[in-house]
């Protein structure tokens, strides 16, 4: 007897346990609507139905931990006919993973690394914030609110000028810089981290894993796991970490924070939509 729902849950759970590229996640999502037939199709047929190349389908199988596509297809067939074990992640995998990520974030928020990061960033002027490619939105988000509580904030989201930005921060007397480095890690971000260190700038790096290849180059590494259950990574934990970091920085100088917030409040009538 074919259990389509159970097979879909199994594939979702499997994908959740591995880091897939956006293209690979999209294939998985399209395959979910192809049960039970997908368990009996060739790589060429799956490629045609999902709109990708045959090698992409083959790479998906290896990315999911199988030796090759034949082994992956055999596992699909087993779960379709009820021979495979029950899925490890029932329910709504993307939401479940985010809950787990936020639970994991507690260790970062309560740890010595966050306290070190706060000390480094609270003592630097200007405060440089760097985030390239997928991390650009995180950098802009942090900088938008940081400008309300910190006197001088410089943000860089352009890979072509990031080295210049780091050098300028150094020349302006900054003591530390905040970098967001979420997967896939841009080479320019890693280069900026190492350039900062060579200029004696302390580096606070927000990333997804303590095992990131540039982890040894960070003075304070703050880990915010990403959600991988959708086509694109979810940065929910990173957003919470960013605003928690800023809250702690604001708390290091309550009087300055209050004065700056009041000054900002005085401008709200100029731009906020009347209620």
The per-residue pLDDT string of the chain (275 residues; one tens digit each, 9 = 90 and over) reads: 456 777 888 888 888 788 888 788 888 888 888 888 888 899 999 999 888 889 989 999 999 989 899 999 988 888 887 655 544 443 457 788 888 888 889 888 988 999 999 999 999 999 999 999 999 999 999 999 999 999 999 999 999 999 999 999 999 999 999 999 999 899 999 999 999 999 999 999 999 988 888 999 999 999 999 988 788 889 999 999 999 999 999 999 999 999 998 988 888 888 888 76
Is the entire prediction scored with pTM above 0.95? no
Taking CA atoms, 86 is separated from 9, 67, 89, 270, in Å, by 9, 22, 9, 57
Cβ proximity of 162 and 179 under 8 Å:
no
CATH architecture, domain 4-80: Orthogonal Bundle (1.10)
Residues 215 and 263: their CA atoms lie apart, in Å, by 38
Residues 15 and 28: their CA atoms lie apart, in Å, by 8
Looking at the domain covering 93-271, what would its CATH class be?
alpha beta
Task: Kindly give, in sequence order, each residue whose CB lies less than 8 Å from that of residue 61, ignoring residues fewer than 6 positions away.
Answer: 68, 69, 71, 72, 73
Q: Where are the CATH 1.10.10.10 domain residues in the chain?
A: 4-80
Cβ proximity of 237 and 98 under 8 Å:
yes
Residues 191 and 188: their CA atoms lie apart, in Å, by 5
Of 228, 8, 9, 223, nearest in space to 97 by CA: 228
Q: Where are the CATH 3.40.50.10490 domain residues in the chain?
A: 93-271
């Amino acid at each position: 007897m074919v259990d389509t729902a159970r097979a879909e849950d199994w594939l979702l759970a499997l994908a959740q346990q591995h880091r897939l590229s956006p293209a690979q996640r999209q294939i998985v999502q399209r395959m979910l609507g192809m049960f039970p037939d997908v368990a009996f199709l060739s790589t060429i047929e799956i490629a045609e139905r999902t709109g990708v190349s045959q090698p992409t389908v083959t790479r998906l199988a290896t990315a999911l931990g199988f030796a090759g596509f034949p082994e992956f297809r055999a596992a699909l067939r087993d779960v379709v006919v009820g021979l495979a074990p029950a899925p490890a992640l029932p329910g709504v995998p993307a939401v479940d993973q985010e809950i787990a990520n936020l639970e994991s974030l507690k260790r970062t928020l309560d740890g010595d690394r966050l306290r070190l990061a706060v000390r480094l960033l609270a003592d630097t002027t200007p405060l440089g914030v760097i985030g390239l490619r997928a991390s650009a939105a995180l950098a802009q988000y942090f900088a938008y609110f940081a400008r309300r509580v910190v006197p001088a904030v410089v943000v860089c989201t352009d890979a072509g000028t990031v080295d210049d930005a780091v050098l300028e921060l150094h020349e302006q007397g900054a003591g530390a810089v905040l970098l967001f480095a979420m997967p896939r890690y841009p080479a320019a971000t890693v280069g900026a981290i190492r350039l900062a260190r060579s200029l004696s700038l302390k580096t606070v790096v927000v990333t997804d894993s303590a095992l990131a290849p540039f982890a040894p180059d960070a003075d304070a590494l703050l880990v915010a796991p990403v959600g991988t259950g959708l086509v694109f990574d979810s940065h929910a934990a990173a957003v919470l970490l960013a605003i928690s970091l800023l809250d702690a920085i604001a708390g290091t100088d309550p009087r300055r924070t209050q004065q700056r917030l009041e000054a900002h409040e005085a401008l709200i009538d100029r731009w906020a939509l009347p209620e």
